[in-house]
């Protein structure tokens, strides 16, 4: 099992050195809010040109873009439904027209707890769409680029450690997505593209945690007591940003937060 990465408090408050990504371009899926928004902000603060992707939060995405442009970087805002291959192709066509290439791709967007989306939605978004986004991005990714997949301990360890019943469909679909992406590692390696899975414990302040708490009152407090600490959105986003630049772990896995209650495979 990978050793957990040190907590955010043990690291510099700025996850990336200023100017360290100047001349680079980074795209973060689902980056109009939450972990994705903070991650794309960290990239911009390090000098990267960034692509903000959203599904239906255009005003929020545009507000974030205006803030990041004040840092002196180029910002492209692209709405795309990741479960729609044509929408994904259109997004990357716009990225190519604007920037020509891509250096960092963070697969952050996920879901499955939304109401009224159908039984297969979680698998469609968390597995099928993730693979399609990566494959669609490949023509833009070159030697030295990096792909980061964001997941949770509850999903990463779902085969060996039970999770809350409300989260099981999402956890299984996220793990299926992780497995499908890992199958691409040899192909990515041949192209000089690094791949890292970033798995975190329950993150306070995320939509998923809020929905879990609503379905299972006390879930967050219980997990916090068990783990000793839960990361907040900005702290976890800092670790995602670091995963885009730090050396790729031997097992392509970066574990964030407590893992003592999760059994390894």
In CATH, what number is assigned to the domain containing residue 43?
A: 3.40.50.720
pLDDT of 6 reads 39
Cα-Cα-Cα-Cα dihedral sign, residues 194, 249, 201, 117: positive
Decide: residue 246, CB within 10 A, 0-12 exposed, 13-18 middle, 19+ buried. middle
CA 70 to chain centre: 24
Helix (H, G, I), strand (E, B) or coil at 33: coil
- What residues pair up with 244 in beta bridges, in sequence order? none
Q: How far apart are CA 110 and CA 93, in angstroms?
A: 22
pLDDT of 252 reads 98
Helix (H, G, I), strand (E, B) or coil at 108: coil
Outline where the chain has alpha helix (H). Answer: 34-45, 58-69, 85-99, 121-123, 130-137, 153-156, 168-182, 185-190, 207-215, 219-227, 233-243
In a domain, 109, yes or no: yes
In a domain, 3, yes or no: no
**Strand-pair category, 75-79 with 194-200:** unpaired
Domains in the chain, number = 1
With contact defined as beta carbons under 8 Å apart, do 236 and 35 qualify?
Answer: yes
In a domain, 262, yes or no: no
pLDDT of 206 reads 66
The phi, psi pair for 99, rounded to 5°, reads: -115, -20
In a domain, 213, yes or no: no
In a domain, 77, yes or no: yes
Q: What is the pLDDT along the chain (265 residues), one digit of tens a residue?
A: 444 443 333 334 679 999 999 999 999 999 999 999 999 999 999 999 999 999 988 999 999 999 999 999 999 999 999 999 999 999 999 999 999 999 999 999 988 766 556 668 899 999 999 999 999 999 999 999 999 999 999 999 999 999 888 888 899 999 999 999 999 999 999 999 999 999 998 777 666 666 666 666 776 676 666 666 777 889 999 999 999 999 999 999 999 988 888 877 7
In a domain, 196, yes or no: yes
Joined together, the tokens standing for residue 150 give: 């964001």
pLDDT of 167 reads 85
pLDDT of 47 reads 97
User: Which residue range(s) make up the domain with 24?
Assistant: 8-202+230-256
In a domain, 188, yes or no: yes
| Percent of the chain as helix, strand, coil, to the nearest 5 | 45, 20, 35
Distances (CA, A) of 263 to 78, 93, 111, 161, 162: 39, 42, 24, 6, 10
In a domain, 216, yes or no: no
């Amino acid at each position: 099992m990978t050793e957990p990465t040190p907590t955010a408090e043990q690291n510099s408050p700025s996850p990336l050195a200023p100017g360290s990504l100047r001349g680079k371009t980074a795209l973060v899926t689902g980056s109009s809010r939450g972990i994705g928004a903070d991650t794309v902000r960290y990239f911009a603060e390090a000098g990267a040109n960034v692509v903000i992707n959203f599904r239906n939060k255009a005003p929020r995405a545009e507000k974030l873009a205006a803030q990041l442009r004040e840092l002196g970087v180029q910002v492209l805002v692209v709405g795309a439904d990741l479960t729609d291959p044509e929408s994904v192709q259109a997004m990357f066509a716009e990225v190519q027209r604007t920037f020509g290439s891509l250096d960092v791709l963070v697969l952050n967007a996920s879901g499955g707890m939304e109401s009224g989306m159908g039984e297969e939605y979680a698998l469609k978004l968390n597995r099928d769409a993730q693979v399609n986004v990566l494959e669609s991005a490949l023509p833009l990714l070159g030697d030295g680029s990096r792909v980061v997949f964001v997941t949770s301990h509850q999903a990463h360890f779902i085969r060996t450690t039970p999770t809350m019943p409300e989260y099981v469909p999402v956890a299984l679909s996220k793990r299926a997505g992780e497995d499908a992406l890992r199958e691409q590692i040899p192909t990515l390696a041949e192209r000089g593209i690094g791949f890292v899975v970033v798995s975190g414990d329950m993150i306070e302040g995320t939509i998923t945690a809020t929905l879990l708490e609503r379905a299972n009152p006390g879930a967050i407090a219980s997990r916090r007591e068990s783990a000793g600490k839960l990361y907040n959105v900005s702290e976890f986003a800092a670790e995602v940003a670091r995963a885009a630049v730090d050396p790729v772990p031997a097992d392509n896995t970066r574990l964030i937060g407590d893992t003592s209650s999760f059994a390894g495979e």
